[in-house]
Amino acid sequence: MDFRLTEEQLMLQKMLRELSQHEIEPLAAQIEKTGRLPDDLIKRLAGLGLFGMTIPKDYGGAGMNNLASVLAVEQLAQSGTAAWWLVALNNSIPECIYHFATEAQKKKFLKPLCDGTAYSSIMFTEENTGSDPEALTSTAKPDGNDYLINGMKRFITFGARNGYATFYAKDETGKCSAFIIEKNVAGYSAPKIWDLMGEGGIEAADVYLENVRVPGENLLGERGKGFNALLYWISTEKIEQCAASVGLAQAALDEAIKYAKSRVVRGKPMSEMQGIRWMLAEMYAKIQASRWLTYRTAYLQDQEDPNWMTEAAATKMFVVPATMKAVEIARRIHGAYGYTREVKVERLYRAICGASAIAVSLEINKSIVGASLAR
């Protein structure tokens, strides 16, 4: 096994670490205040080829792999803003479309999702369900060569922004089908943006569709088998979320080391206290284990390992609690300052809490892994 990153991957890390520190982090307060990522920043990220990183160049992508997108997300997350969410969704959703789409769908939808002219969204979660396709209330009914879609979706990231979404609804057979829909067309509305605990700029919206007409050719994958596309997408998203968690925890460790070195206790830097060093060591070990587990799972996806989706669930089971604990230790090292918005670690602490609440709970991931082992 070779644990070394390639020269290209190391350059990508370095470039995006500097971008996160010097261009995104200074905007963190503004992003949290407005709840939006600045348009100039979005254009900057798109211009760097960070959308559709895994999509072949013939369809407008960068022709890279999932490990590269994971490396990108890890670095961008260190700002504690939703910049990583934008990059993650504009990689995982095009990746899902590419995997299940027809050739015509690839040619129509992928390029705008890769060049930043269209925003990706995933529309499955509803008011009373987040994981169960049988509990969906959104419907897609045939009308000639089209479908008429009705329903409500909740917590839809960038749901109010123009672009395309993969939309999940019960079709005429009562089963879950996936569709590629255009946002902000007639009958589409996103009246509410949720004010979330952390990661300002996610723009999680409530979305309503009333008789939105979608061409039948926009059916993604087989009719009645939309849940297959959802599982593929959400497994990719889990790996990206773990990468973001590693980035947030790494930023927290950096802040903790800096604070411990600068804070003087009884004439010596706090970093010379054994208790503090043990805390730093614990953080480091958790982050390193989480980092390499995440990289390995992205590698398995790139190799099309038949068990990569189960591995993605297992990875989230381990990485999320480990990195949350690491950030919480960093907050404690900061003492009372860690409870103020004057220091970065407070923003990181709020941001990482989302990992246990968004994109499948830890308990459901345990069920996925346990069921796989039992089989």
Q: Please give the CATH topology (third level) of the domain spanning 7-117.
A: Butyryl-Coa Dehydrogenase, subunit A; domain 1 (1.10.540)
- Domain positions in the chain are 7-117, 121-224, 227-374
Structural contact between residues 352 and 327, judged by C-beta atoms closer than 8 angstroms: yes
Residue 209 DSSP SS3: strand
Domain 121-224, CATH among 3.30.590.10, 3.20.20.10, 2.40.110.10, 3.40.640.10: 2.40.110.10
Q: Round to whole Å and give the CA distance between 237 and 239.
A: 5
* Distance (Å, whole) CA 142 – CA 352: 42
Residue 357: is it exposed, middle or buried by C-beta count within 10 angstroms (0-12/13-18/19+)?
middle
Q: What is the pLDDT along the chain (375 residues), one digit of tens a residue?
A: 788 999 999 999 999 999 999 999 999 999 999 999 999 999 999 999 999 999 999 999 999 999 999 999 999 999 999 999 999 999 999 999 999 999 999 999 999 999 999 999 999 999 998 878 889 999 999 999 999 999 999 999 999 999 999 999 999 999 999 999 999 999 999 999 999 888 778 899 999 999 999 999 999 999 999 999 999 999 999 999 999 999 999 999 999 999 999 999 999 999 999 999 999 999 999 999 999 999 999 999 999 999 999 999 999 999 999 999 999 999 999 999 999 999 999 999 999 998 887 777 888 889 999 999 998
What are the respective helix, strand and coil percentages of the chain, to the nearest 5? Answer: 55, 15, 25
Top CATH class of 227-374 equals mainly alpha
